[in-house]
Amino acid sequence: MAAWTSRGLRGSTLEELLNRTNEKYRQAGLALIQKVPTPITPIKIDKEKRHITLAYFEQKSTVDYIGAIQGIPICFDAKECNYDTFALQNIHRHQVEFMGEFEKQNGVSFLIIYFSARQVFYYLTYAKMKEFVDRADSGGRKSFTYDELDPAFQIPSGNGVFVNYLEVLQKDLDLRD
């Protein structure tokens, strides 16, 4: 069972930026996206500071965010990568399965990956993610490189939000038509 303190706050900066972005989208009436809480069981609590210092995950989480944008159901996970190579072990099997089932219900699933060395946010479509996962499952590379990604899906900055993924989501939708 995974412990909360093992890699506790990794990716928390990206999630904070996404939370602020999603709040801006909500205020503008563009989207309603919520952070999916990961259920935990506290083991140790610092009673003076009232903080959980050790906890275990109760169950596997699905994705980090779920909601709707202009009537379109979406779900996505936020990942952070320090290098130009992204290890597929960071995408858990149950997440791939959930996202696949979500797509079958006419939802849109994707990853937002922050390549911190490049300071680049990237929108990875479910189809491209699945292509990489299938390649690994059939004995190929267990990772993908930044150079394998389509530059058109790099998330531009601007429009008053931190991670402006709506424009790139529209590209994904256009490719589905």
- Residues making up the annotated binding site are 62, 64, 77, 95
Residues forming beta bridges with residue 70, ordered by sequence position: none
Residues forming beta bridges with residue 144, ordered by sequence position: 86
Contacts of 136 (CB under 8 A, 6+ apart): 88, 142, 143
Distances, alpha carbon 89 to alpha carbons 60, 74, 86, 152, 157, in Å: 15, 23, 9, 25, 28
Count other Cβ atoms within 10 Å, centred on residue 158. 9
- Could you tell me which residues are annotated as the binding site for Mg(2+)? 62, 64, 77, 95
- The span from the CA of 141 to the CA of 144, in Å, is 7
E strand intervals along 70-128? 72-81, 85-87, 108-115, 120-125
